[in-house]
Amino acid sequence: MAWKLWLFSFLFSQFTTSHAAWTPVNASRTLLIGNTPYYISAEPILSLPLAQLPQEVVPFVVFASNTFSITGTSLSSSISSWQKADDVFSDSFLQGALIRHTSGGPAALSSSAIEFFNEKGTELVMLADSVSAFRKSGHIRLSTVGNINLAPGPYILARNAFGTPAVYTPLRLHFDDTQSFFKSVTPLSDGSFSVVSATMDTDSSPYIGVPSRIYSLKQTDPKLPLAGVRVSVKDIYFLKGLRASAGNRHFYTTYPPRNTTGPAVSRLMQLGAHIVGMSKTVQFANGDRATADWIDYHAPFVQRGDGYREPSGSSTGAGAGISALDWLDVAIGSDTGGSIRGPAGANGLYGIRPSVGAISLEDVLPLSDVLDTGGFISRDPKLFSAFGKAWYAESFKSYSSFPRKILLSPDFERISANASTIYDAFFQKLQSFLGATIANFSIPEAWNETSGIETPVDVLLNQTYPILIGWHQSTVVGQPFFNDYAAANQGRKPHVNPGVLTRWDYAQSQGLSAFEAELSHRETFENWTLNHFLTGNSDSCSDNIYLYPQSAGEYASRQTYYSGPPGPPFGFSSGRIAVHARSPDMVVPIGQIPFMSNITGIEEQLPVTVSLVARRGCDFVLLDLCQLSSTGRNLGYWLSITMATGLMSTRRGMEHYLIGGDPYYLTTEPVLSLPHIQLPQEIVPFAVFNANMSSITRTSLSSTIQGWQEVDDVFNDSFLQGALIRHASHGSATLSSSAIDFLNDKGTELVMLADTVSAFRTNGRFTLAAVGDINLPAGPYVLARDAFGTPAVYTPLRLHFDDTQSFFKSVTPLSDGSFSVVSATMDTDSSPYIGVPSRIYSLQQNDPKLPLAGVRVSVKDIYFLKGLRASAGNRHFYTTYPPRNVTGPAVSRLMQLGAQVVGITKTVQFANGDRATADWIDYHAPFVQRGDGYREPSGSSTGAGTSVSALDWLDVSIGSDTGGSIRDPAGVNGLFGIRPSVGAISLEDVVPLSDVLDTGGFISRDPKLFAAFGKAWYADSFKSYASFPRRILLSSDFENVSPNASAIYNAFVQKLQSFLGATITNFSIPEAWNETSGIETPVDVLLNQTYAILIGWHQWNAVGKPFFNDYAAANQGRKPHVNPGVLIRWNYAQSQGPSAFETELSHREAFENWTLKHFLTENRESCSDSIFLYPQSPGEYVSREMYYSSPNGPPFGFSTMHTAVHARLPDLVIPIGQIPFMSNITGIEEQLPVTVSLVARRGCDFVLLDLLNALADAGIVQTVKTGRTAF
């Protein structure tokens, strides 16, 4: 049987060794095995230098037998048991096998075992220990590997950094479609953690790597009770080698990777648990609500019910992840005021807030040192109990009996009838099992009777919680954070969510005396609880168990709109009992009740959970009670939900690695093979030099490198480990002595001579090799083995961090015309890494057919790319439709012109008009870096604008514009942007908003590049004209801008007038319409609902209706989720009917005709007789922290921006200045861009582009910067 070809990806890290001059590159790899993605870290678990690799990557399985005859039956039985227990192993790993004998003495691989391997297609069988084969087989390669101690299960045989065959443990990559994780992690041998650098086609959700469960199936070591348990960790626990965000972007960037892992996580690892990832948390473990309060990151999704329930917090990712992802066992978090119990309740899970002190919180971000506890969540009650009893401090113990008194909260009197039925049934079971009495118990009444304190308990403790958490965290976390951030950021304050600031500010306003008073109140309540409520019992630890409803099947939506941030968490409730008494509170799921979902349109189920509270220190009583499920007396009710993992859209493999400290990526498609080259190590970075002289000197090489470094962010000196020298004109050339010395000085180890290049002299420092006729552009490359083991040349992509969260994913084109996702990430706070090619390749490009050679372009996620899914800003749209089988003409044209498509940028849902943050339900809105970094980013080409304004490695971003979707982001970000004439850019294979109004569009920082890009991308029917318009029409909107902005506009208009030699006229569209249109209806009345009807009617019929039908067909009749604002637009237009649509089409046409005849009239010399100017973005600030009481309504009205929309004209945005404003976020004066729009007659786009180019040459406009300020 022929060997299978495994496609793979690598993440490499460099290290220097003392025994070699080479700098080996360690590789972590992503593989597709049997269509399933896997990851292996850079660290092998052992070397097998005697193993003969038949291909570069060999999946294999270890079988450990204790019998002396290893038969096909025993092997088949092992595999059968593995398949039932494990999601990592598959038959595809049977390409190889390693057979061990565990009982000492010889053992033989029987004839039936060999036949078994023949049937499975096994090609390599390695015999370890004293195992021999009964007979040989012509189909199987047998080899002896000596004494090997490996647990049974799946492994990978591949080369290490030195080229030696070695064994690696694979992690199966699972798609987290709940967005519960920040990142996937894996431990390293030095005690630190590494990020699992892997992703596939994604809508911004991560992939998480998990190890095989087989390794621990036969684990009997009592010191490893958690062997094989997969655990996620809340992102407030510090892990060595990784940054922590605590839910805050600025906290993540302020503090470096941690140098230690805290005791809580270390203990879990010592007990055998596998840490697989970092889960999301509410900011600083406080109490933010999805979606509006989650300013920095996106709240995870609860898959219970309709999938859009409020996920609760602060251990939000812990609950959402466990309830949805069957490959995850336990999630650890923290609980101060309900941060474990709330998510456990919302998701129908087992969860516990332990007694304070049960779990070490050293190296964990605190909320309150008095109230904080660790905590954990699981689906399985037996595992839940065992996990807790292993993780807890050793001072806790079990007791001989259970409490005999059940106390019921009066809260049970205020729940629904459906929930009440479930609770009553549970009470009866619990009472019967315990032989207990049941009594209703009111804490306020008991307090009044027994505390000896006149103040009611709810009054005494009303502000205890907000002051204890607010004072402590603002002092211990907030103040140092503000100081550290300010020191690194020119005195700025960091961004902190409004709700968190409200808590901190309130507690600080009350002062230290209030904090001390509330400490005393809390202690008084705890003492009362111990003496009069949850009293002690020597046999059962706690004399009572107190029950209250944790989650009674009540629904709160993540689509809820709020008028403002949450205030301080005043009050006292049943959920605060365990908080102030610092006692254990265990959540148990006991049932579910139906509700009619407004989102899915069908009846769904919501979990019902109960909380059991015991005396402080009596945690094991609760855990032992929970564990009774293993005896068939489960007091809980596990709510199972079948999960489908994300589908893979591509079989391509990739490589990603570090060279000179910078991360890089390769696809598995080499640009050419070099079969005769001897690889000195597995990965050889090298540079190609194209000489055009007969003698190649030190000076010429040095000058070339200097030129590269000035223009390129991909090349660095580490690529000089190797060099390939070729003569650009295929003439003879010699590598001079000075050039050889230069390469020696650079530490070059391998020099390849192409074509007719020779060396002046040989040199012992590096290896010389002739490689024949090689035609490669100059620049950086990587020499590595292809999938068949043949040395080959690859082009590296430099990986850049997108800290604006503008991108959904990084992509790269393949030779078959499809696209592959760049499967790479590093330590991240959920922002992606984007791969870009070297600019050097196109430096000497002079082909007129490639005017955009080397231009790096991002694409809005409504353009379809072959091989990839599109989301159009909607999660259900992303999962409903498979990878596209074609790339649309607009993107194809760019690639034919030489542009490099590097990634997919975020869009407002279906290219409509959502506002950050509240309207972005499915994904997180990108961040504008201009000003204070928290300005509303605008849309719908949101990611296009935010990325180009912040990321200097990106040149152009393409999007679309219907009502302002290019122009608004360009204005907000201080960029050049254009809404072209309708029809200028093909919109085939693009999600439409309106077939009448839609246009393509693009954004850039550089005016000359912008003009050249447009003139290349546009349809061939567009042309330049002999002159520019001589009339400037000024919108009356200029009268309404601020004085600062007015000064900038006046200066620009004067320069423009002087340059054009033009006249200036103030122009009011409403007045001109009234005078010349011949229509009595004012233009703003005539067009009041035109835009709303045209987009709503068309998109519903072209996109919405088919989407609803397709989703329902695949999801048991459910409706997909669509953002409220989009539904309002669709529903309004449909309610008006087809006659309204036809009417508004005629209104729009009337306006366009009037524009062409009376406003922007034709001129043969300049195409458009006039240019109309209006203020696009006059430096006004709207925060992404804004709260809205309701979703966006239909977009009624007519404004100046609608001029180009309804007349289908070109509208060019130009940044011309910036004005100061005092930021409430950073606390200092920042700058906001000022932009102007220039509108011309339809079809006169090149007039605007040529004018922009001329203005740039004249110094009137200039390239804008990336970062906080445009100028």
Per-residue DSSP letters for 221-286? -TT-TTTT-EEEEETTB--BT----TT-HHHHHHS--BS---HHHHHHHHTT-EEEEEE--SGGGS
Structure tokens at 264: 């809580």
How many of the other CB atoms lie within 10 Å of CB of 1137?
12
Radius of gyration of the chain, Cα coordinates, nearest whole angstrom: 33
DSSP string, 98-109: EEEESSSS-EEE
Identify the DSSP state of 414: G
What is the Cα 767 distance to its own chain's centre?
Answer: 44
Residue of 476, 465, 562 whose CA lies nearest to 506: 465
H or E element in which residue 129 lies: none
pLDDT of residue 129: 79
pLDDT of residue 404: 97
pLDDT of residue 161: 80
Rounded to two decimals, what is the model's pTM? 0.95
What CA–CA distance (Å, rounded) separates 237 from 363?
A: 6
pLDDT of residue 393: 86
What CA–CA distance (Å, rounded) separates 279 from 343?
A: 13
pLDDT of residue 14: 43
Burial label for 513, CB within 10 Å (0-12, 13-18, 19+), is: exposed
Burial label for 106, CB within 10 Å (0-12, 13-18, 19+), is: exposed
Give 896's contacts (C-beta < 8 A, 6+ positions apart): none
Give 955's contacts (C-beta < 8 A, 6+ positions apart): 855, 856, 857, 948, 1004, 1005, 1006, 1009
Strands 695-696 and 733-735: parallel
Strands 750-754 and 767-772: parallel
What CA–CA distance (Å, rounded) separates 860 from 608?
A: 42
Structure tokens at 429: 């079971």
What CA–CA distance (Å, rounded) separates 375 from 1040?
A: 56
Structure tokens at 292: 């509006």
Q: Which domains can be identified in the chain, with CATH numbers?
A: 46-168 (no CATH), 239-646 (3.90.1300.10), 672-794 (no CATH), 801-1017 (3.90.1300.10), 1031-1111+1138-1185+1193-1257 (no CATH)
pLDDT of residue 204: 78
Chunk the chain into consecutive blocks of 10 residues (it has 1271) and report each block's average pLDDT, rounded to whole numbers: 44 38 66 92 90 89 93 96 97 96 87 93 90 79 90 95 91 96 96 92 89 94 96 99 98 98 98 98 98 98 98 98 98 99 98 98 99 98 97 94 98 98 97 97 98 98 99 99 98 98 98 98 99 98 98 97 97 98 98 98 98 98 81 32 23 54 85 92 93 92 96 96 88 89 93 88 79 93 89 95 96 96 84 94 92 98 98 98 98 98 98 97 98 98 99 99 99 99 98 99 99 96 96 98 98 99 98 98 98 99 99 98 98 98 99 98 98 98 97 97 99 99 98 99 99 99 98 98
Residue of 44, 9, 26, 315 whose CA lies nearest to 156: 44
What CA–CA distance (Å, rounded) separates 282 from 291?
A: 11
